[in-house]
Every structure is written in structure tokens, then in C-alpha cells.
A and B are shown apart, each in its own frame.
Chain A
Amino acid sequence: MKAHRILLVVLCLALVLTALGAQAQDDNMNPATFGLAEGKPYDGITLKFLICCNTAQQFALLDKMTAEEFTPMTGITVEWGDVPFGTYQETLYLEASNPNTEYDIAAWVDAWGTNVKDFLYPLNDFVAQYEIDMSDYSPAYVGASTMGTAGTDNEIIYGLPFRGHPQILYYRTDVLEQLGMEPPATWQDLTRLGEAMAAAGMEIEPSAMYYGLNVDQNLFNWYSHLWGAGTDLFDENWEPIFNNEIGYEATVQYLSYLRDGYTAEQSTTLNEGDAWQEVIDGRAATYVGWWWRYSSMLGSAVPEVANNAGIAPAPGWEGGLTASYGYLWPVGVFAQSENVEASLQFLRWLTHPITELRSVSNETGDPAYDNNVAVRFSVLRDPNYNERFNNLGNVAADILADARTIPLIPEYTEMIPVLSEAINEMAVDPNADIQAVLDRAAEDVRDIMDSAGYYD
């Protein structure tokens, strides 16, 4: 009888705690939690969000959360687009420049930002109103979301970081353990790993590189080499400097993995995804690429890969810097939208730290929505996040603290084919004169800048 009473008390307590918990969760879903307007002043408005690929778990989950949480809170319906990535760039440009576009909100790849910024609603007042802490984002992400000089009056925030990727070094722990080596901290270490693997007669490739032509993917690791070695694409006067002595040295190192036989010969045709396949199929020991691939390494059908998945920050330059490209999709509001205020409400909810944390926590429990994409340091450093993703957040935060972004000028998209083809040319032809190819590319880039009036 006494046992029954205790059980009853415990059950009652459990019920009360559950009710309190549910209440607490409901509290989180109040407009006040996000600083949104009370009383549903935008009730009935439908917003259209120009975005791609609902196959990305982050987008799919946030789309679901929008319908289940944001809409009941505000009365605003948001229709998420699902434009295929292959046609997304041109769709974005066409919609942005269309005064009668039916879209209100858009997300874009950082490199495309300069071509759409003139059609976006400035967010400086929005950021000030909600006291959004921009230092909670990587400098690379802030740079990709703003134009003008940081901290000055001409700094215009036209987007907020939404989906971002740092560069991670993936490695096979079994291979390194066998050689008694640490994960390569520098590119020169990667060469040493290649030498050691060759000396040990290991059959798998030391690294899966990608020098193939696929928009700008063969530039990502080249940038890390350039920045790490201490140079850049341009000097402060927008003169190309990637062909200077340091740039040459960095490029030689970047191509050395191929020329020395530490990556597959066919890496000259591989893009980022193809090269990753080399890793998850067990043919390569290391790979430097976006962090969101981690789960596919853990889920590889090859047990040696799945059971020996290691991650570390992308390598830096020996005696130099560790700086890799932080790739970002900012999100913003079209200036021509007839629903700017309602769109800003959605933007606030979408980029709020609570939404971000709940997105990576995937409270649905459905594996189809599992994703690790976070852009705020506070979320990346969250202990639960790191427990859930094997410390991935801390590694990412370390990388992002030193990450950089690409030149945010309209001419960048014109430069990409020049640079990308130059890298491909040097990779395809083992006898190519690296300095000559770099000089020619620099001349072509200078012509682009000159015709755009940079040297007038």
C-alpha cells in the first residue's frame, strides 16, 4: 500500500514536471522570446522565400519549423522555394533584378552577393534594433554579409549569416596510427604524410585533392595555401598579387600533391564531391573540404573508413598562418518586396540563436532532418552540440575564428573562370610553367579590373 502511494506521488510529480516543461517550451515559442511583434499585426500575409534544394536537411527542417512554429506565432505564412542548385544562380539574379519579383526573402552564395546587393534591403537598423551581436559570427561570415568598411558609416549589412561551412581536414585515424603521425597541421605536414605513406608502401592515396573545373571548387584549397603563406589575390590597390614570389611558392605546394604522386592522377578532373567519394570508398587517407560531409564519413559502407573517421582544422602554412575559406549563404530581404516588415519578422526568427540551436538539435527525432549546420560561435561552442557531433562544433569554431572570405566585388565572378582554368591548366600539364601561367592569369584578372575602372 505504501509502495502504491509512493508510486502515485512520483507519477503526479512526473505529470507536473512534464506540464511545466511543456509550458516552458511554449514560452520559448512566444513572439516575445524572439522580439517579434505582439498581436499578430501581419496575420494573413504570405511571404515567398527564394532558396534552393530542400534536400539539404537544414532547409527541410527549418521549412517544417516555419510552418509549425513561426506561422502559429505570427500568422505569417512562408513559402520556401526549392530551386535546384544548378539553376539557382541565374534564378537569383533574374528575381533580384526583377522589380515585380514575387519573392520577398532570398538566400545566396557569398560570391553572388555583390551582384544582388543593390536589390537588397539594408539591415543596419534591423541589426541595431534587435541588438544582434555580429561578433557571434566568424569575421569571414560578417564580411560576406556586408559591404563597405567595417565599423564605418558606409558599412552596409545586407544579409545575415544563415548557412555556413568551414574547411575541415578529414583523416583516417588508422592510417596515422600505423605511421605514428599526428593529423597534418600544415600543408607541409600533408606532404610529409605522403612521403611516409609512400615509404611504408601503403596503397591508398595520401590525399584526395580536386583540381577539376567545377565553377570555383579547385580554388578553395588554393586560397588556404595563398593566405597561409602570407599573400592574397589582390593588394590594397586591387592589383593582383597571387603571382608574386609567395603566391608562386604557395601554388607550387598546392600542386605538389599531384606532381609528387600523393593524390590520384585523375584529381585533375575531380570536383569536391568526386574527391570526397575517394575518401568514403576507402581510396584516400585525407581530404580537406566542407564540414557537412562528416556524417557521410561516419556512415561509409567501408568499415575501415566509418570506424576510423577523424577531423581536425584545415591545415595552415608552416611558419605562416592558418586561414581557410569560410563559405557562407547569407539571407536577406528584397528591397522591392511589398512585405518588408513581415519579412524582417521572419528574418529575425530564422536567424535567432534559439532557432539555430533547435535546428541542429533536431527535436523531431527524424534522422531525415539531422544536420550540423550552425553559423554562430555560441551555437558551435554549445556543449550539447559538441556531444552530439563528436566535437565538430569546437573544431569548426576554431577554424572560423581565422577564416576569410573571397573578394566581395562584382568582378569576382568574372575572375573565377580565369583562376579556375589556370589551376586546372597547371594540374593537367605536369610540365606547365607555374610562374608563366600565374602571370598570364594575373594579367587577365588585371584586364577585368581595369575595364571595371579600378585603376582610373
Chain B
Amino acid sequence: MYKSKWIVAALLAPGLLVVALTTTYPLLAALYFSFHNYKLTRPVEWAIQLGGDSLVTFNSSALTLDNYIEAFTDDRFINSVVVTAEFTFISVGLSVVIGLAIALLLQKDNLWSRMTKTILILPFAISPALKGYSWRFMLNENFGIFDLLIDVFVAGPINALISIWNALPFGDVPLMSTTIVWLGDSFWALVMLAFSETWGWAPLIALMFIGALGSIDSHIFESARIDGANSWQIFTRVTLPILRPVILVIVMLKTIFSLKMFDQVVTMTGGGPVRATQTINFYVHQVGFVRGLEIGYASALSYILVFVLTILAAGYVMYLLKPDYSRS
């Protein structure tokens, strides 16, 4: 037993060392930085100093809570929190709803369904940065395919209906604009950013739901039908309750990813217009590496995000580890 413990430790050691160097050390270093007024280009008084009279000196007066205090009075950070919350709400909601809708459509096993399921994974396989560039082009007013599709299939029919309505003596409704600059409007820029995220995630979520739907015993649906339930009642009173644990896991997972949104903001909107799409991670990057080089402050902002993510991740893990997970 004693020997086997040492063998286990020896086998784990390389992996643990890699994790310690690539994850634990940066996390601890960032935590340490977050309590200092550390600007990359200026000298800083560190709390822990190596060398000198003694091997390690600890100077508690060098530690400061300034960065954390500043965060809650920084209107740019507060804006980024609000933007991230809005983005998370829209993107999680859309991804789950559309993912579930796709899953229900592809539930039946046939050739078309199998082919579609294979293709579905492609949007998720595209890198987020590239997704941002693609959407930027696709929303371009001059040559963007999405802009054209919206004009033809959304604005076109709506304006046709409005025109018919306006032909009536009392009709006076303005036509829908076909020249909206999608990424130049605060509301639409955020919505389009969320759409781009949904475009990538909804198919993956659909595949997760397809797996979950496939695991439901078909006798349950048959019983419901025998008892006189219609399709809507089966969906709302049978399917959704059974899927509830899967939905919760997906919502938690997607929320964690949405809160970390960064790449698409950089390549699609640049945080604009003005500050309308500046998410927390985008703002942290601006603070740390683009504008003030304020590594201490950027670390503190990151830790605030880490705190929120840790709570979510803990909930996610605890839920997964619940012994009655499959029956809840």
C-alpha cells in the first residue's frame, strides 16, 4: 500500500507540476498583483521581497485594497458588468431556446437528420475571433449576406404589410429602415454580438439536447398520448420536466462561457459603438495591456470575474456530482 502510494504520487507529479506552473502560479501571481498598485512600466513596492537582510521580507504596508475599491467606482467597469450581464442573458436565452428547437426538429432519425447533425457542429468549430470577423463582413451594409437577408426576408415582408396598412385611410406607420448600420447602433450591436455567439453555440447545445431526448424512454410519451395529452402538453409537461437537469447544466455551462466573452468583441465591434459592447474581459484587457498597463488593477478586475465564475462553476460541479442527478 505504502509503495503504491508513492507510485501514484510519482505518476501524478508531472501532471501536477504542469498544472501548478501553467494554472496555479498565474492565478496566485495575479491575486498578489491585484493587491498592489502595479503598473507595468513603473517601479512598485512589493509586499514580498526576496533577498536583502533576510531571505524573504514581508511588508504588509505595500498591500492595498485600492484596486478593488476603485472597481466599484469605475463607471467603465460598471458599464462592462452591465454589458456582460445583458450579453449573457440574451446569448444564453437564445442559445438554449434555439438549440432545443433544433433538437426537437432533428429528433427523428433519418438521412436528412443525420446529415444536418453532422453539419451542425461546424459553426462551433470556427474560432471565436474568426466568427467575429465573419459576422462583421456579413453585416456590412454594402456586401453583407446577413444584411441582405434581413432586408429581403424581414424588412421586405414587414414593409409590404405596412404599405398595405398605410393604404387604408387611417394607416400612418413608418416603414422599417433597410439601412440600419447594425454594428453602429448600441442596441443592435449588442444583439448581433449575441446572435453571433448563438450561431456558434446553438448547434452544439442542440446536439446535447438530441442526446438527452434520445435517452428518454419512448413508453413515457406513448403513455401520455394514451392519457389524451396533445403534442404541446407532452412537450411542456413531459419532455421539459425530464430535460430540466440537462437544461440547468447547459445554462450554467453557457453562462460561464458568455461571461468570458472577449474574442468576438475585439474582431467584430471593437467594444463599440462607444462602450455598448465592452464586456468585462475586453475591459480588463484594455486596462492591463492597451491603455494604462495597470496590471494590478486589471488583476483585481479579473478576480472579481473569477469570483463570479467560481460560484457558477462550483454550482455546476456540485450539480454534476449529485448522486441523484439522473433522477432529479
**Chain A: residues with CB nearer than 8 A to chain B?**
86, 89-90, 93-94, 97, 115-116, 118, 212-215, 264-266, 268-269, 271, 278, 281, 283, 410, 413-414, 416-417, 421, 424-425, 428
Contacts and interface: CB of A to CB of B under 8 A. Distances in A.
A43 B142 CA distance: 57
Nearest to B179: A265
B275 interface: yes
Interface residues of B, number: 25
B184 A421 contact: no
B286 A417 contact: yes
Nearest to B142: A283
A414 B274 contact: no
Given A116-B41, A416-B291, A213 B141 contact: no
B66 to A, nearest CB: 12
B41 A213 contact: no
Contacts of B269: 213, 269
B123 interface: no
Q: What is the predominant secondary structure among interface residues of chain A facing chain B?
A: helix
Contacts of A278: 142
A89 B270 contact: no
Contacts of A94: 40
Q: Which 4 pairs between the two chains have the least Cβ-Cβ distance?
A: A213-B272, A268-B184, A90-B289, A213-B270
A414 B292 contact: yes
Contact of A212 (B186, B272, B286, B290): B272
A417 B80 CA distance: 14
Contact of A115 (B41, B142, B181, B185): B41
Interface in B174-227: 179, 181, 183-186
B296 interface: no
Given A265-B181, A428-B273, A413 B292 contact: yes
B181 A215 contact: no
Given A90-B289, A265-B141, A214 B41 contact: no
B132 interface: no
A212 B273 CA distance: 7
B76 to A, nearest CB: 8
B97 interface: no
Nearest to B183: A269
8 contacts: A93-B41, A93-B289, A94-B40, A264-B142, A266-B184, A410-B41, A413-B292, A424-B274
Contacts of B275: 421
Contacts, number: 78
B40 A215 contact: no
Contacts of B272: 212-213, 269, 421, 424, 428
Given A417-B286, A421-B275, A266 B140 contact: yes
Contacts of B179: 265
A93 B270 contact: no
B293 interface: yes
Contacts of A214: 270
A145 B215 CA distance: 67
Nearest to B147: A266
Nearest to B266: A86
B293 A93 contact: yes
B181 A268 contact: yes
A265 B179 CA distance: 8
A141 to B, nearest CB: 23
A265 B290 CA distance: 28
B274 A428 contact: yes
B291 A424 contact: no
B291 A413 contact: yes
A271 B270 contact: yes
Contacts of A89: 289-290
A89 B289 CA distance: 7
Interface string B112-146: 00000000000000000000000000001110000
Contacts of B141: 264-266
A115 B184 contact: no
